[in-house]
C-alpha cells in the first residue's frame, strides 16, 4: 500500500489528467502577488497511490475526490492534531459472508475470550521484545527480575476467564511497561506517563499521533477486506468507536509506534522546535516534526519485518498488518487457532 501524506498547510489538492497535484494557496496578504498562485508542491500519478491522508487545512477539489473514487483510493481526513474526522471510501465488493460470520462470532463469549487473549498476549510480547532489545545493548537499564514481572502477565492472560479480567491484566502490564519505556529515552527527553486528549509533552505527542495513523490504516484494511471495523471482540462496542481496528492495533502499538518514537528521540532526529506548544499545555507535532515522523514511519512499514531479532527482514510492518487481518478472517470463518505467521500471506489477503 502506497500512502500519500498531505501535511503542508494552506494547500489544495487538484486533479490533472490521471494525476494528483498539490498546489499552494495564496494567503490574504498575497492576493496582489502572482508568485505563489498555483505553485505546485507535488505531482503524482493516481496509479502510484492506494491511500491519501490529509492533516489540517488541506483543501480537496470535487474533481480530485471523483478521481480518487474512480481509482479506488481511500481518503482519510484528520485535524492538524491527528484526530480522525472521517474517511471517503470507494465502493468495493464487500465480503458479506465474512461480515455475517463476524457478527455471529461476536455473540459467542467463548470465541471473544479466545481471540481477546491472543490480542493481549501479542501486545505484552511486543512490550517484552522492545524491553529485551534495549536491555541487550543497555544491560544496566532493567533487572532480570523486572523483565520477569512483565513476562508473568502473559501467564496471567492465558489463565483469564473473562474479558474484564483481561482488561485488568493488560492495564497492569501497560503501566509497568511505560515505567520501563521512560528509562529507554535519552536526555533531555522525558516521559512521566501517558497523557492524551491532549498530549502534554513531545513524547506523548508522537505516541498519540502514531497510534491514530496506524489505527486509520488498520481500519481501512479491515473495511476493504469485508470486516465491519466497528464490531470488535476485545474492545467494547461503542457508538463511533472502531473497536475491531483497536483490537488489531494492540499488537502494533509498541512494536511499531513506540519503537518509532524511540528512534526519533534517541537518534536525535526530533528537536524541540519540531513541536507546537499551546497555552493550556497541549503539545503536538509541527509541520517539520510530521515530515520526520512520516519518513521514519514509512521506513519501518517497509523495512522492518517484526519486533523480533530473528524475523526475516524483507517483510515490513504493513505486510504484517495485512497478514494479521488475513489470519483474523480465517479464524472467524473456520474457527482455527490463530497463530503467528512466518511466511507472507498476501495471496490470502488479496483473495478476499
CATH number reported for the structural domain that contains residue 254 in this entry: 1.20.120.920
> Does one domain contain both 135 and 280?
yes
> Does one domain contain both 297 and 241?
yes
> Does one domain contain both 233 and 200?
yes
Contact 80, 284 (CB under 8 A): yes
Q: What is the DSSP letter of 102?
A: H
Give phi and psi for 130, each to the nearest 5: -65, -45
- Residue 332: count other Cβ atoms within 10 Å of its Cβ: 22
Domain extent at residue 144: 96-351
Contact 289, 273 (CB under 8 A): no
Please give the grid coordinates belonging to residue 197. Answer: 486528549
Contact 105, 332 (CB under 8 A): yes
Cα separation, 191 vs 230, whole angstroms: 32
Confidence of residue 308 (pLDDT cuts 50, 70, 90): very low
pLDDT at 45: 87
Q: Could you tell me where the beta strands, DSSP code E, fall in 92-203?
A: none
> Does one domain contain both 296 and 324?
yes
Which uninterrupted H or E stretch holds 266?
helix 259-266
- Residue 181: count other Cβ atoms within 10 Å of its Cβ: 23
The residue among 216, 312, 210, 318 whose CA lies nearest residue 264 is: 210
> Does one domain contain both 59 and 179?
no
> Does one domain contain both 209 and 79?
no
What CATH number is associated with residue 44? 3.100.10.20
Last residue of a domain, one of 70, 88, 106: 88
Per-residue pLDDT tens digits for 327-337 = 898 888 875 44
> Does one domain contain both 155 and 264?
yes
Contact 87, 74 (CB under 8 A): yes
> Does one domain contain both 164 and 308?
yes
Last residue of a domain, one of 88, 107, 134: 88
Which uninterrupted H or E stretch holds 53?
strand 51-55
Query: What string of DSSP letters covers 35-94?
Result: SSTT-EEEEEEGGG-SEEEEESSEEE-HHHHHHHHHTT-EEEEE-TT--EEEEE------
DSSP-assigned beta bridge partners for residue 42: 22
Q: Report the number of distinct structural domains present in the chain.
A: 2
* pLDDT: which is higher, 121 or 42: 121
pLDDT at 92: 62
> Does one domain contain both 326 and 232?
yes
Last residue of a domain, one of 25, 57, 88: 88
Per-residue pLDDT tens digits for 2-54 = 788 888 888 888 888 888 888 887 665 555 444 445 688 888 888 888 788 88
The pTM of this model reads: 0.81
Three-state DSSP class for 60?
strand
pLDDT at 350: 32
pLDDT(346) > 50: no
Q: What is the DSSP letter of 318?
A: H
Amino acid at each position: 500500500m502506497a500512502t500519500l501524506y498531505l501535511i503542508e498547510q494552506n494547500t489544495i489538492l487538484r486533479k490533472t489528467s490521471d494525476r494528483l497535484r498539490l498546489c499552494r494557496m495564496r494567503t490574504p496578504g498575497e492576493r496582489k502577488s502572482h508568485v505563489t498562485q498555483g505553485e505546485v508542491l507535488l505531482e503524482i500519478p493516481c496509479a502510484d497511490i492506494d491511500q491519501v491522508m490529509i492533516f489540517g487545512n488541506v483543501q480537496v477539489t470535487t474533481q480530485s475526490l471523483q478521481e480518487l473514487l474512480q481509482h479506488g483510493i481511500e481518503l482519510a481526513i484528520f485535524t492538524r492534531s491527528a484526530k480522525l474526522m472521517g474517511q471517503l471510501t470507494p465502493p468495493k465488493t464487500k465480503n458479506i459472508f465474512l461480515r455475517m460470520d463476524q457478527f455471529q462470532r461476536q455473540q459467542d463469549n467463548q470465541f471473544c475470550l479466545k481471540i481477546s487473549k491472543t490480542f493481549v498476549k501479542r501486545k505484552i510480547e511486543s512490550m517484552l521484545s522492545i524491553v529485551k532489545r534495549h536491555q541487550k545493548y543497555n544491560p544496566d537499564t532493567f533487572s532480570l527480575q523486572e523483565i520477569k514481572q512483565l513476562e508473568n502477565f502473559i501467564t496471567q492472560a492465558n489463565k483469564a476467564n473473562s474479558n474484564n479480567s483481561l482488561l485488568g491484566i493488560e492495564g497492569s502490564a501497560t503501566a509497568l511497561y511505560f515505567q520501563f519505556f521512560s528509562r529507554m529515552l535519552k536526555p533531555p527527553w522525558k516521559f512521566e506517563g501517558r497523557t492524551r486528549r491532549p498530549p502534554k509533552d513531545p513524547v506523548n505527542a508522537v505516541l498519540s499521533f502514531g497510534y491514530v495513523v496506524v489505527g486509520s490504516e488498520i481500519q481501512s484494511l479491515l473495511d476493504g477486506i469485508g470486516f465491519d471495523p466497528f464490531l470488535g471482540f476485545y474492545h467494547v462496542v461503542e457508538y463511533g468507536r472502531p473497536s475491531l481496528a483497536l483490537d488489531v492495533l494492540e499488537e502494533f502499538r509498541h512494536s511499531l509506534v513506540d519503537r518509532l518514537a524511540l528512534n526519533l528521540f534517541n537518534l536525535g532526529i526530533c528537536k524541540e522546535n519540531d513541536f507546537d506548544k499551546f497555552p493550556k499545555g497541549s503539545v503536538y507535532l509541527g509541520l517539520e516534526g510530521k515530515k520526520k515522523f512520516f519518513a521514519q514511519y514509512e521506513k519501518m512499514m517497509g523495512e522492518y519485518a517484526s519486533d523480533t531479532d530473528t524475523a526475516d527482514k524483507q517483510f515490513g510492518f504493513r505486510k504484517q498488518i495485512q497478514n494479521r487481518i488475513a489470519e483474523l478472517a480465517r479464524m472467524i470463518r473456520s474457527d482455527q487457532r490463530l497463530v503467528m505467521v512466518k511466511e507472507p500471506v498476501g495471496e490470502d489477503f488479496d483473495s478476499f
